[in-house]
Every structure is written in C-alpha cells, then in structure tokens.
Structure 1
Amino acid sequence: MRLLVVNVNTTEAMTAEIDRAARLAASPGTEIVALTPDFGPASVEGNYESLVAGVAMCERVARYDQPYDGVVLAGYGDHGREALQEICSVPVIDITEASAMTAMLLGHRFGVVTTLDRTVPLIHDRLLVAGLTARCAGIRAADVPVLALENAPEASLDPIVEQARLLVEQDRAEVICLGCGGMAGLADRIRDELSVPVVDGVASAVAQAESLVRLGLTTSRVRTFAAPLPKHVTFPSGAPALRAGVGA
C-alpha cells in the first residue's frame, strides 16, 4: 500500500516532520510518500493562503505519476479536501476530520489546540461541514506562528501545553486534538503533562486511510464528489490538465 501525505505549505522542514509522523503511524508494508507543493505559502494561516495551498496541493498530486492507494491532506482546517476527492479515485483523508473522529472514540468531548487565533474560524468551519462541532468543547490558539514550530520548537511547546490545559480544565474537554500538521510529534509530551489522550491528526489520518484501503472503500461518485467536467485547467507551473481519477 502506498499513501501520499501532502503538506499544505512549501516548507520542506515541515514536510519532513509530517513524513516522520506518518511513517511512525503506518503499518508494516505501507509506503509513505510525502509531497511538498511547488508553489504557495511558506505557512498557511488564513483564508487566502489556504485557498492558494488547496490549488497547489491538487496540482502536486495530479503530477504524481506513480500508482498510489490513498491521500492524506496534512493541513488542519485548510481547503482542498473536497477538490482532491473529486480528482482522486482513492480515499482522501483530511487530518482535521481524522483527528476529531478519532478523539470522539476516546472521550465525550474533544478540544483543539492550534497556532494563531485567525485560524480558529477555519478549523471551526471544517468541523462544522463535517458535522463534528457538537462534540467539540472548544478551539484555542497558542499564539504560536506555524513556522515557529520548526524554528523554535522548545519555546513553542509551553504555550501549546497551556492552551491544552485550559481546554481540559475550563472547557471540559476530555481529549485534545493537535490543530496543526506542524505539531506532529508533540502528542507524547502534551499527554505526559495533562494525562489525557492527545490525538495527532497525521497519525490518525494515516490509520484511517489504511483502513479504507483494506476495506476496499473510496469516495462516493454520486453528486458531490463526481469527477470534474472534462475541460482544460491551466496551472502556474505549466503542468498538464488535472486527470480525474488519478490513483491506483
């Protein structure tokens, strides 16, 4: 089984961290291929950057020319999942929804700790579209820019832990979801501090993608995620038009 794990931004160091988390979660025999878009923002922290990143991810996946069995979108609250589901014939798993669905198996309500406050509405909307807000106790931002997770990881940890603590003590969350792909690898340290389950979205999405592949299931082609209508699509990189149904 081969899974594509697509970073939403162009920062290679973050792709490497996401790749590491995905490989740790993958079962024996699962090959992880981490992809970085060729254009787009260095980090995604708002609607404009998220929309650009969504296009860049689609372009990067469409250009991958080897067979694959599933796709993991490694951006929390970001755009692109629906578009990838239209163009890929294999399961597409978004880490936002994957982490929340996993968390609901572990406690009554979950909370999300993320980076900047401006990303909170994007995460809320992604959970709302997925029908998951009823079990969400809250979304709190640690006021840590995404790139600081790579450039100053130790300094970033304390505010993330503190906001996770407030989710548990004030918002009554019983499970914490890490609300950024760049937080992959922090779950154990936060779990040790708070003694509650901490769910990493990358690991959850890999496990769910593997499960769907083994079950022989993929996205419904009725209505919502039917393949795009046949027409030419031009990208900045000069890549060929998107090929509906790419994958295994």
Structure 2
Amino acid sequence: MRLLYLNPNSTGSMTDGIVTAARQAVPGVEVLGWTNHDGPPAIQGPQDGARAVSGLLSRLPEARAAGVDAIVIACFDDTGLEQLRAEAHCPVIGIGQAAMAVAALHRGRFGIVTTLDVSVPVIETNVTAYGHRAACAGVLASGLPVLEVEAGGAAVEAQLVRTILRSRDNGAEVIVLGCAGMSRLKAPLARQSGATLLDGVQCSAHLACALA
C-alpha cells in the first residue's frame, strides 16, 4: 500500500516531519510526502489556502502515475479537499477531517487547539461541514504562527500546553492538535498537559489505509 501526503505549503521541513509521523503510525506502509512548492510558506487563513489549491491539483497526474492508493492533505484546514477529491483517481482525506472523525468516536466532547486566530473560522466551518458541531467544545488559537510551531522549543510547548488546558477547562475531554506541525510535539505536550491528544497525521494514516 502506498499513501501520499500532500503538503499544501512550500516548507519542506514540515513535509519531512509529517512523513516521519505517518510512517511511525503505520509501519510497513509506504508513505510518500510531496511539498507544494507553488504554495505559501504556511497556510494561515483562507487566502493562503486559496493560493495553494492550484499547486495541489497540478500534482494529481503525478500521483496517479506513482500508483498511490490514497492521498492525504497534510494541512489541518484540509486545503482543497473537495477539489482534489473530485479530480483524484483514489480516495482523498484531510488530516483535520481524520482527526475530527476519530475524536468524535471518543467519550465526551473534543476541543481543537490551532495556531493563529485567522485559522479559527476555517476550522469552525469544517467542524460544521463534517457534522461535528455538537461534539466540538470549541476551537482555540494558541497565538503561535505555523512556522514557529514547526520550529518547536520550550516556549512553544509551554504556550500550547496552556491552550490545551484552556480547552479542557472549556469541557473538552479529548484535544485535537490543529496543525500538522504539532505532530512531532504530541508526546511532550501529552506528558506536560496530562490531556488525551489526537494528531491528524497519525489519525489520517490509519483511516487512509482503511479506505485504500
């Protein structure tokens, strides 16, 4: 089985981290990671997302030629999901979609911790579109830009932990990490917060295998 993670942004280090997390989630599955070099450095809000779609669509013939069994959009905004799904030769899912689907299967309500305020309306729209409005306790922005999250470090982790705890105080029993760059931080964030965390990269790897 061959999975393809399409990173809508042009930051190759994020693609590398995403692929590492996906491979750890599904050992033995071939995982490819492609970077959208025509996209912005980070997807932060609807304008960045719109800029990325044409570059993602342009990779679909190559994905068909590579014989991939499923495509995963490696941005929590699920950038271009409907457009790619309509054109691709195989199933297409988003890491946000996958994380919410798994979160909704847990007991109680789930919260989402993301990066900047500009991303909140996009994610809230997706929550409603996927049918999870009743299950979602809210979407909280950490105030951290995507590339700052990707860089990591003690200050970034501390800010994310504070936001995770706010989400739990708001009634969330499970917290979804709302940025692909948070994937590699899942273990330290879980340890520091004591919260049950879900990462969309890991969730999507399992669901993509099931679909394929």
TM-score range, shorter chain: over 0.9
Query: How big is the shift at 1:97?
Result: 1.2
Structure 2, unpaired ranges of 5+: none
Aligned CA distance change for structure 1 residues 188 and 151 (closer, same or farther; 3 Å): closer
Q: What does 1:125-140 correspond to in 2, within 5 Å? A: 125-140=125-140
Task: Give the aligned residue type for 1:46.
Answer: G
Structure 1, unpaired ranges of 5+: 214-248
Within the alignment, does 1:76 sit opposite 2:51 as a pair? no
Q: What does 1:43-54 correspond to in 2, within 5 Å? A: 43-54=42-53
Q: Percent identity?
A: 35
- What is the CA deviation profile of residues 212-248 of structure 1, one whole-angstrom value per residue up to 9, with x for unaligned ones? 11xxxxxxxxxxxxxxxxxxxxxxxxxxxxxxxxxxx
User: How far, CA to CA, are the matches of 1:78 and 1:66 in structure 2?
Assistant: 22
> 1:123: which partner in 2?
123
Task: Give the aligned residue type for 2:158.
Answer: D
TM-score of the two chains, using structure 2 as the length reference: 0.95
Task: Give the aligned residue type for 1:43.
Answer: A
> 2:13: which partner in 1?
13
Task: Give the aligned residue type for 2:187.
Answer: D
> 2:101: which partner in 1?
101
Within the alignment, does 1:61 sit opposite 2:99 as a pair? no
User: How far, CA to CA, are the matches of 2:197 and 2:175 in structure 1?
Assistant: 5
> 1:211: which partner in 2?
210
Query: How big is the shift at 1:152?
Result: 4.3
1:133 is paired with a residue whose SS is: coil
> 1:37: which partner in 2?
36
User: How far, CA to CA, are the matches of 2:92 and 2:44 in structure 1?
Assistant: 22
Query: How big is the shift at 1:151?
Result: 3.1
2:137 is paired with a residue whose SS is: strand
- What is the CA deviation profile of residues 23-45 of structure 1, one whole-angstrom value per residue up to 9, with x for unaligned ones? 111142x1000010120100010
1:10 is paired with a residue whose SS is: coil
TM-score of the two chains, using structure 1 as the length reference: 0.82
Task: Give the aligned residue type for 2:186.
Answer: A
User: How far, CA to CA, are the matches of 2:119 and 2:185 in structure 1?
Assistant: 19
Q: What does 1:81-230 correspond to in 2, within 5 Å? A: 81-169=81-169, 171-213=170-212
- What is the CA deviation profile of residues 116-159 of structure 1, one whole-angstrom value per residue up to 9, with x for unaligned ones? 01100000011111111210001111110001123343321111
- What is the CA deviation profile of residues 70-101 of structure 1, one whole-angstrom value per residue up to 9, with x for unaligned ones? 01111112431111111112111111111011
Query: How big is the shift at 1:48?
Result: 1.1
Contact 2:9 2:37 in 1 (8 A): no
- What is the CA deviation profile of residues 35-75 of structure 1, one whole-angstrom value per residue up to 9, with x for unaligned ones? 10120100010111101112211212333331110011111
**What root-mean-square deviation, in Å, do the aligned CA atoms of Structure 1 and Structure 2 show?**
1.3
Larger deviation, residues 12-21 vs 49-58: 49-58
Contact 1:19 1:32 in 2 (8 A): yes
Answer with 1 or 2: which has the greater Rg.
Answer: 1
More helix by share: 2
User: How far, CA to CA, are the matches of 1:157 and 1:7 in structure 2?
Assistant: 23
State the number of aligned residues: 211
1:186 is paired with a residue whose SS is: helix
Contact 1:78 1:122 in 2 (8 A): no
User: How far, CA to CA, are the matches of 1:104 and 1:78 in structure 2?
Assistant: 17
